[in-house]
Amino acid sequence: MRRTTFQAIALIVIGACNPSPHPAPVDLNASPETLNLYSNLFRVASKGFMFGHEDDLAYGVRWWSEQGRSDVRETAGSFPAVYGWDLGKIGTEMNLDSVRFDDMLRWIRQVYERGGINTISWHMDNPVSGGSAWDKTAAVAAILPGGEKHQEYLAKLDAVAEFFDQCRSHEVKIPIIFRPFHEHNGDWFWWGKGNSEEKDYIALWRFTVDYFRNKKAINHLLYAFSPDRSRMDLSKGKRSYFWGYPGDEYVDIIGLDNYWDVGSKYNRKSVEESRSDLIKSLQLITSIARDKNKPAALTETGNEGLNIPNWYTRVLLQPIKENPNTIQIAWVLVWRNRFEHHMYAPYPEHPAAPDFIQFRKDESVFFEDDIRGMYSDKMVLVKNPGQPDQAKDVF
């Protein structure tokens, strides 16, 4: 009894949120769990943000596909709240980074059943040349209706639809935040600016959304749009965000990929000099999200190799926290932990681990252990600093 009382006091309940009216997602037939997830993204963003990691359960630095492992959890005591996955090479056994699709489905199910969120990007191979997503051969017009590769594109979409259909927990279809054709204002992917006309990119996005929601009755997706910060001119304000924007009826989440302002080796400005740009870029997506009544998210970020030991608290968290009224984002997702030089979340012996533990304790940062009921209308955010496992007993 005493222990239970103590636990209840130790928990800081950040928000026992009552259902409040939030806009519906762009799929008017979205499933109840998807509707709740969407509403809860708004609620989370008003209290802080969730932490996410690409391929978190699939592998980490010096391990591959080991049941129960996660560099994030082994370092900070909780799994991330958001998990990124990628469908590049769908239709084969393994994705472009050698993650088996049957494992991915199993992990997606585990995440949902623990109350976490799955988001999926798609580094689709070039449909004209057969090269990778980075092969710039013109291809967007060719896969649109009337184009010579349209049938092949439909076959790909069918494979993606089948994968989404298999994202189930018992009878429930697991809501997925789908983020196709990302960083499209850059020129490094075949669907990007310079390799595609803007009107064709827009047509591709709309066709894809309509195909899933109307033709295939895939009604458990939220759609995230995510241009890349490095190709935005912040002096141009909101205009710099919208290249390729397919319209408010086709986008649920106002995303941004921003590696540029947080320690990119390609940016000549130092991370200190870039701080105000990071703030501006996040204020920009928050403001656009408010105009459109949609949630905003930092859909990709990170410092490759994590060579700034206090990156998590100083480079990422402080600028967000110091601007609580003008920066509201539902989540932040860092990229994958493949090798020492290509990793973004610390593992226990990494020099940035103590800072990451501080980050995890911050009351505005939500990991999986800090969230209850993400797919219900009674979501609760809690923090139990330093004792994440005790929180589980209470809810």
- Using CB under 6 A, list all residues that contact ligand BMA: 86, 96-97, 123, 335-336
| Closer residue to ligand BMA, CB minimum distance, 38 or 311 | 311
Rounded to a whole number of angstroms, the minimum distance from the CB of residue 219 to ligand BMA is 27
**CB under 8 Å to 300, separation ≥6 — which residues?**
54, 84, 182, 226, 257, 258, 259, 333, 334, 335
CB of 199 to ligand BMA, least distance (A): 27
Residue closer to ligand BMA by CB (options 44, 124) is 124
Token reading at 99: 């993650």
Say if CB 35 and CB 21 are below 8 A apart: no
Q: Which two tokens stand for residue 62?
A: 């010096």
- Name the minimum Å distance from CB 123 to ligand BMA: 5
Output 71 or 86, the one with its CB closest to ligand BMA: 86
For the bound state, the minimum distance from the C-beta of residue 344 to ligand BMA, rounded and expressed in Å, comes to: 9
> What minimum distance in Å lies between the beta carbon of 336 and ligand BMA?
5
Q: For residues 96 and 105, which CB has a smaller minimum distance to ligand BMA in the complex?
A: 96
By the 8 A CB rule, do 112 and 368 touch?
no
257/369 with CB nearer ligand BMA: 257
Closer residue to ligand BMA (CB): 94 or 138: 94
For ligand BMA, give the closer residue by CB, 93 or 171: 93
DSSP secondary structure code for residue 315 in this structure: I
- The answer to whether 263 and 216 are in contact (CB under 8 A) is no
Q: From residue 79, give the alpha-carbon distance in Å to each of 22, 82, 202, 317.
A: 28, 9, 36, 18
Q: Could you tell me the smallest distance in angstroms from the CB atom of residue 149 to ligand BMA?
A: 22
Q: How far is the CB of 205 from ligand BMA (least distance, A)?
A: 20
Q: Shortest distance, CB of residue 188 to ligand BMA, whole angstroms?
A: 10
Q: Which is nearer to ligand BMA, 25 or 263 (CB)?
A: 263
Which is nearer to ligand BMA, 64 or 395 (by Cβ)? 64
Q: How far is the CB of 280 from ligand BMA (least distance, A)?
A: 24
Q: From start to end of 112-161, where are the E strands?
A: 117-121
Angle, helix 101-114 to helix 150-166, in steps of 10 degrees: 40
* Cβ atoms of residues 165 and 173 within 8 Å: yes
Q: Tell which residue, 21, 162, 158, has the closest CA to residue 102.
A: 162
Cα angle 87-181-299, degrees, rounded to a multiple of 5: 85
Tokens representing 140 are 């967007």
User: Which 8-state DSSP code applies to residue 348?
Assistant: T
What is the distance in angstroms between the CA of the first residue and the CA of the last residue of the chain?
16
- Alpha-carbon 145 to chain mean position: 29
Q: Please tell me the distance from the alpha carbon of residue 154 to that of residue 128, in angstroms, as a whole number.
A: 14
Smaller CB separation from ligand BMA, 123 or 136: 123
Strands (E), 156-207: 168-169, 172-173, 176-179
Nearest distance in Å: CB 132, ligand BMA:
8
